[in-house]
Amino acid sequence: MQSTADYTCAFCGETSTTFIDISAGLTQTYIEDCQVCCRPNQLYIAIDDISLDIEIATDYLE
């Protein structure tokens, strides 16, 4: 099952939307380039197991 969620780029501060594969687990970590500035962001995904609400935290990736 897939869903979408917004995250804020750790570099430029712009908001982007990403696809989340919920079947990959309730906590996920991966790298995605910002759709605005093209710099890599480390995404930390947390999915609530009951409501399936998605929270995303970002960090710089050097």
CB 35 within 8 A of CB 43: no
Of 33-37, 52-56, 58-62, least confident by mean pLDDT is 58-62
Strands 27-33 and 15-21: unpaired
Q: How many helices (H) and strands (E) does the chain have?
A: 0, 5
Residue 58 has pLDDT above 80, yes or no: yes
pLDDT of residue 2: 76
pLDDT of residue 61: 79
Residues 6 or more apart in contact with residue 45 via CB below 8 angstroms: 5, 20, 27, 28, 29, 30, 54, 55, 56
Query: Encoding tokens for residue 42?
Result: 């480390």
* pLDDT tens-place string over residues 11-46: 999 999 999 999 999 999 999 999 999 999 999 999
pTM to 2 decimal places: 0.88
Mean pLDDT of 54-58: 97
Number of domains within the chain: 1
Domain with 13, as residue range(s), is 2-60
